[in-house]
């Protein structure tokens, strides 16, 4: 071991004593050569012959020096250093090609790095909790409808906490809007009431203050703290939430989320956390987070929870026999909705990266033709394939590393644009930033790009034989090989660009279809906003109903307001209550077939929204009477439960056969309540007044501009309740546009990728055609002398460009078909047919003609003698 260490140290020190050791070696070799020469002279040889024989006896001075240097230093490191030094000198004489190749790689690396930054922040980073990888979400499920994942009741959450044995942390919480008073103006905030032990298990301390230990404290978010003035002394100050006084116990860091955004609407950031009130133990809609014990798998936890669920069903005859519970890894739950979209974007960025590598490889390949004789001479002088590979890879890396730096700078611009476009749909947007993982990815992408871009010129160099270096045809041979390789690279570029373009065209068709689809109601002149009703009022009908009627009357009295109504949710928001329908006299169906959306609306809601009545009548104030619940169905519900029969007048029950009985009084048209791209599900409308509603989604029909109407609405609401804030004011058209934000963002990015890919592919077509015209100058001149016209030459060259594009589109057809299929699965896109393929084919064909036009015109307008002289 000591001997190896000494040898390694001696080799390392030899690097710093290179000049001294070379002088010593020269002196030693000179002395030894003189000695051998003297001996040869004593044997009777002439001085010249004696010297020649001495050199032969030593095996050659140069070879001896090389062997000695390899034995004393770090030959591999020195070889790499020499390769990069030679590559630098080589690029200094070809700056234009180096800049073009660097630009192409920068676009590819920058795009891939930007999307990876989002993927890293959303999908790869662990949750910001202590032992976040062990946290799971627990929800109610069904053995038949296995995809169902509903909230738990307070009592069920308690039972699971007491009976399970595989968790070391367990807690539950409930989300609700809160009306906050901290000053003069009321504010609406998103609140979460959470069990006290759970918040201490997350391992995330407030940046100011501490977590609460009793029911008198509240912890606020960093955003709300800034909204309230960013006072460092806010800890201990009082604030009022829904009429109840709390003391500010702490302020959380900006990166903290509970619940983790992505499991619920990512746009709804929680502003305040309060202790869960024991008085709410009979409520429902609780989310449960638990942490697996160390070494316990998700499968073991699932078995434990399923065991408890079966015991609860056996102990309670009123429970559904199919009722069970479901355990889901919390990180996977957060990213499951956005994962397909991000992977689709990452695949598009990867295709652009490959196109950039092919474009850079084409530039390096064209440059290698000019160096064909140099390369051939190096091979003839003994350069091995390993040495050639090191040289070409070094040249590729020297353009890839600056491209990575430019790409990182580009990603710093693109990433915020992606977050701003789709931030409401991205979980944990605060975690999306450039870190060491992103820098490592960019450097890794640069290394891959450098190697890939050097493969084509390296392959050509490896096929150059030493004998070719002595002939005049080395450049001709290299040029012929280069043409074939360049055409192959350009065809690959066109194929990948065609696939990207087709996917982006399919996205545009999908977005246009959504924009022109009917939501099922008249969205024009419709203003919406939300009024959050405190729990003390929402669950007390003696206070809630008069309060709701006073608010509607006050808003309806505003000049210019034609009609006003409210519901428990707005169309297109994608959430709401769920119930099951059991028509009387019909056999039981599976659980999934019984599930329907429950919409609680005020009288006049259908008139305000202008939802058409197809049969029967609408709901009125008189329907709030005891007895069977009057309901209105949409066409989807009537068709599912009653088929071809007329459902008006029919009866049924909610939840199960023993549930509340209802009577159908009317059928209305289908409304897109879950999104423009989601098929309408069965929906049941009931009168809102008998039901507790904590959020009143108010709809106002008026032709007045929003800027003048909104202040009047706030004043009218304040006259009824001074502590009631008006929030989420928006027109229905804005809401419709907002539902398409993700599709628009992905469409924008896909179009950007496709445009960049097309640009590089068309530059490749231009380069290949221009080079081919120069190489075929003699042939073109002979054609013109034999009678070919300029138009014939133009057609010949343009046809060559179109053939390249056609080959690329045929090869890219598979990529396009797979991409459109995946797109349909990710976004539930309607079948776009052949339209994207037709548009993409036309665009690529036109651009191929444009790219080939300049060299074609140059060849067509020259005289045959000039063409022949250039080709000679």
Phi–psi pair at 659, nearest 5 degrees: -80, 180
Cα–Cα distance measured from residue 266 to residue 423, given in angstroms and rounded to the nearest whole number: 8
Cα–Cα distance measured from residue 474 to residue 309, given in angstroms and rounded to the nearest whole number: 79
pLDDT of 479 higher than 60: no
* Inter-CA distances, 594 with 284, 550, 573, Å: 21, 37, 22
Rounded to 10 degrees, what is the CA torsion of 479, 485, 487, 489? -140
- Based on the fold, state whether residues 586 and 450 are members of the same structural domain: no
Confidence of residue 497 (pLDDT cuts 50, 70, 90): confident
Both structure tokens of 769: 């055609």
pLDDT of 299 higher than 80: yes
Pairing of strands 244-251, 217-220: parallel
- What local confidence, expressed as pLDDT, does residue 701 receive? 92
Cα–Cα distance measured from residue 32 to residue 495, given in angstroms and rounded to the nearest whole number: 65
- Based on the fold, state whether residues 167 and 302 are members of the same structural domain: yes
Contact assessment for residue 37 and residue 56, using Cβ atoms and an 8 Å cutoff: no
Q: Which residues pair with 566 in a beta bridge?
A: 698
Q: How is residue 195 annotated by DSSP?
A: -
Q: Is the residue at 624 inside a domain?
A: yes
Nearest alpha-carbon partner for 726 in 688, 698, 689: 698
pLDDT of 764 higher than 70: yes
> How many domains does the chain fold into?
4
pLDDT of 667 higher than 90: yes
C-alpha angle with apex 451: 446 to 455, nearest 5 degrees?
145
Q: Is the residue at 222 inside a domain?
A: yes
44: left (phi over 0), alpha (psi -120 to 50) or beta: left
Average pLDDT rounded to a whole number, residues 257-265:
68
CA torsion sign for 415, 418, 420, 423 is negative
- What local confidence, expressed as pLDDT, does residue 474 receive? 45
- Based on the fold, state whether residues 771 and 718 are members of the same structural domain: no
Tell the burial category of 371 from Cβ atoms under 10 Å away from its Cβ (0-12, 13-18, 19+).
middle
pLDDT of 469 higher than 50: no
pLDDT of 586 higher than 80: no
Both structure tokens of 339: 């994962």
Contact assessment for residue 862 and residue 790, using Cβ atoms and an 8 Å cutoff: no
- Which residue among 73, 93, 108 closes a domain? 73
Phi–psi pair at 293, nearest 5 degrees: -65, 155
Helix/strand/coil for 520: coil
- What local confidence, expressed as pLDDT, does residue 95 receive? 72
Residue with tokens 């390369």: 375
The pTM is what? 0.77
Q: Which residues pair with 239 in a beta bridge?
A: 246
Confidence of residue 19 (pLDDT cuts 50, 70, 90): low
- What local confidence, expressed as pLDDT, does residue 441 receive? 92
CA torsion sign for 501, 507, 511, 516 is positive
Q: Is the residue at 99 inside a domain?
A: no
Q: Is the residue at 349 inside a domain?
A: yes
Nearest alpha-carbon partner for 683 in 596, 595, 581, 572: 596
- Based on the fold, state whether residues 160 and 279 are members of the same structural domain: yes
Q: What is the CA radius of gyration of the chain?
A: 37
pLDDT digits (tens, 9 = 90+) for 431-451: 888 888 889 999 999 888 888
Cα–Cα distance measured from residue 122 to residue 342, given in angstroms and rounded to the nearest whole number: 9
Q: Is the residue at 770 inside a domain?
A: yes
Average pLDDT rounded to a whole number, residues 486-494:
81
- Based on the fold, state whether residues 764 and 653 are members of the same structural domain: no
- Based on the fold, state whether residues 506 and 568 are members of the same structural domain: no
- Based on the fold, state whether residues 655 and 715 are members of the same structural domain: yes
Pairing of strands 661-668, 629-634: parallel
pLDDT of 593 higher than 60: no
- Based on the fold, state whether residues 574 and 626 are members of the same structural domain: yes
- Which residue among 27, 58, 73 closes a domain? 73
Confidence of residue 478 (pLDDT cuts 50, 70, 90): very low
In sequence order, which residues have a C-beta less than 8 Å from that of residue 336 and are 6 or more positions away?
none
Nearest alpha-carbon partner for 494 in 108, 761, 750, 754: 761
* Inter-CA distances, 731 with 422, 436, 702, 716, Å: 20, 43, 11, 19
pLDDT digits (tens, 9 = 90+) for 317-363: 666 655 777 888 888 888 888 888 888 888 888 888 888 888 888 77
Cα–Cα distance measured from residue 631 to residue 657, given in angstroms and rounded to the nearest whole number: 17
Both structure tokens of 71: 């034995």
Percent of the chain past pLDDT 90, that is, above it, reads 8
Q: Is the residue at 730 inside a domain?
A: no
- Based on the fold, state whether residues 654 and 749 are members of the same structural domain: no
Cα–Cα distance measured from residue 46 to residue 53, given in angstroms and rounded to the nearest whole number: 10
- What local confidence, expressed as pLDDT, does residue 737 receive? 83
In sequence order, which residues have a C-beta less than 8 Å from that of residue 302 and are 6 or more positions away?
326, 327
- What local confidence, expressed as pLDDT, does residue 252 receive? 92
* Inter-CA distances, 137 with 330, 531, 753, Å: 5, 30, 37
Give the mean pLDDT of the chain.
79
Contact assessment for residue 645 and residue 613, using Cβ atoms and an 8 Å cutoff: no
pLDDT of 57 higher than 90: no
- Based on the fold, state whether residues 183 and 213 are members of the same structural domain: yes
pLDDT of 524 higher than 50: yes
pLDDT digits (tens, 9 = 90+) for 62-108: 656 655 555 555 556 555 666 566 666 666 666 777 788 888 888 88
Q: Is the residue at 374 inside a domain?
A: yes
Both structure tokens of 298: 């998700």
In sequence order, which residues have a C-beta less than 8 Å from that of residue 645 and are 6 or more positions away?
none
- Based on the fold, state whether residues 436 and 470 are members of the same structural domain: yes
Q: Is the residue at 333 inside a domain?
A: no
Both structure tokens of 730: 């928006």
Domain hosting 220: range is 145-321
- Based on the fold, state whether residues 415 and 442 are members of the same structural domain: yes
């Amino acid at each position: 071991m000591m001997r190896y260490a000494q040898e390694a140290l001696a080799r390392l020190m030899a690097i710093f004593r290179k000049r001294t050791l070379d002088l010593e070696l020269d002196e030693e070799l000179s002395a030894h050569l003189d000695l051998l020469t003297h001996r040869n002279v004593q044997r009777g040889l002439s001085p010249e012959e004696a010297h020649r024989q001495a050199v032969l006896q030593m095996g050659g001075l140069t070879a001896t020096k090389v062997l000695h240097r390899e034995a004393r230093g770090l030959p591999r490191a020195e070889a790499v250093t020499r390769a990069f030094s030679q590559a630098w000198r080589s690029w200094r004489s070809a700056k234009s090609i180096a800049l073009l190749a660097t630009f192409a790689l920068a676009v590819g690396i920058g795009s891939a790095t930007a999307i990876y930054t989002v993927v890293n922040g959303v999908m790869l980073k662990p949750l910001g909790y202590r032992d976040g990888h062990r946290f799971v979400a627990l929800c109610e499920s069904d053995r038949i409808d296995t995809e169902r994942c509903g909230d738990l009741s307070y009592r069920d959450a308690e039972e699971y906490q007491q009976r399970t044995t595989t968790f070391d942390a367990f807690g539950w919480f409930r989300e609700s809007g809160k009306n906050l008073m901290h000053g003069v103006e009321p504010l609406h905030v998103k609140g979460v009431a959470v069990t006290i032990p759970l918040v201490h298990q997350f391992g995330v301390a407030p940046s100011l203050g501490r977590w609460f230990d009793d029911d008198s404290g509240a912890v606020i978010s960093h955003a709300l703290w800034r909204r309230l003035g960013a006072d460092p002394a806010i800890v201990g100050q009082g604030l009022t939430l829904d009429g109840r006084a709390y003391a500010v116990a702490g302020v959380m860091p900006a990166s903290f989320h509970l619940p983790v955004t992505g499991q619920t609407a990512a746009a709804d950031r929680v502003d305040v956390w309060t202790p869960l009130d024991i008085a709410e133990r009979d409520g429902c809609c609780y989310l449960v987070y638990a942490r697996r014990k160390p070494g316990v798998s998700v499968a073991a936890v699932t078995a434990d929870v399923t065991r408890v669920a079966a015991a609860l069903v056996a102990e309670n005859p009123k429970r559904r026999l199919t009722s069970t519970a479901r355990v889901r890894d919390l990180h996977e739950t957060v990213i499951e909705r956005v994962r397909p979209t991000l992977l689709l974007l990452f695949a598009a960025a990867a295709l652009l990266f490959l196109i950039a590598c092919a474009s850079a490889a084409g530039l390096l390949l064209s440059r290698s033709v000019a160096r064909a004789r140099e390369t051939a001479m190096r091979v003839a002088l003994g350069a091995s394939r390993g040495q050639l590979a090191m040289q070409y890879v070094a040249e590729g890396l020297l353009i890839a590393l600056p491209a990575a730096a430019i790409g990182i700078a580009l990603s710093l611009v693109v990433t915020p644009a992606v977050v701003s476009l789709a931030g409401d749909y991205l979980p944990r947007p605060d975690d999306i930033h450039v870190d060491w993982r992103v820098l490592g990815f960019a450097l890794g992408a640069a290394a891959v790009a450098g190697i890939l871009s050097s493969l084509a010129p390296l392959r050509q160099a490896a096929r150059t034989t030493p004998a070719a270096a002595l002939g005049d045809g080395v450049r001709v041979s290299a040029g012929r090989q280069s043409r074939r390789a360049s055409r192959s690279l350009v065809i690959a570029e066109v194929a990948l660009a065609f696939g990207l373009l087709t996917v982006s065209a399919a996205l545009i068709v999908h977005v246009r279809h959504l924009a022109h689809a009917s939501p099922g109601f008249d969205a024009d002149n419709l203003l919406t906003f939300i009024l959050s009703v405190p729990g003390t009022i929402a669950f007390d009908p003696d206070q809630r109903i008069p309060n709701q009627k006073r608010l509607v009357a006050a808003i309806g009295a505003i000049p210019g307001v034609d009609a006003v109504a409210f519901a428990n949710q707005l169309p297109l928001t994608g959430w709401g209550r769920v119930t099951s329908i059991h028509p009387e006299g019909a056999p039981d169906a599976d659980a999934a077939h019984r599930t329907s959306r429950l919409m609680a609306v005020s009288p006049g809601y259908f008139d305000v929204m202008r939802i058409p009545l197809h049969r029967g009548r609408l709901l009125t104030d008189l329907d709030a009477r005891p007895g069977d619940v009057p309901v209105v169905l949409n066409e989807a519900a009537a068709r599912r439960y009653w088929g071809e029969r007329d459902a008006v007048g029919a009866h049924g029950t909610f939840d199960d056969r023993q549930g509340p009985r209802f009577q159908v009084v009317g059928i209305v048209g289908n409304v897109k309540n879950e999104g423009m791209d989601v098929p309408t599900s069965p929906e049941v409308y009931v009168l809102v007044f008998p039901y507790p509603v904590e959020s009143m989604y108010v709809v106002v029909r008026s032709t007045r501009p929003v800027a003048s109407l909104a202040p009047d609405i706030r004043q009218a609401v304040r006259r009824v309740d001074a502590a009631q804030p008006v929030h989420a004011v928006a027109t229905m058209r804005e809401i419709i546009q907002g539902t398409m934000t993700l599709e628009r963002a992905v469409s924008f990015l896909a179009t950007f990728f496709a445009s960049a890919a097309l640009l590089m592919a068309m530059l490749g077509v231009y380069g290949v055609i221009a080079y081919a015209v120069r190489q075929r100058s003699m042939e073109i001149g002979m054609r013109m002398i034999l009678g070919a016209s300029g138009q014939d030459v133009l057609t010949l060259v343009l046809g060559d460009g179109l053939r390249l594009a056609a080959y690329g589109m045929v090869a890219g057809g598979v990529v396009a078909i797979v991409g459109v299929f995946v797109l349909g699965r990710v976004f539930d896109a309607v079948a776009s047919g052949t339209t994207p393929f037709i548009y993409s084919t036309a665009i690529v064909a036109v651009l191929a003609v444009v790219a080939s036009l300049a060299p074609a015109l140059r060849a067509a307008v020259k005289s045959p003698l000039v063409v022949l002289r250039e080709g000679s």
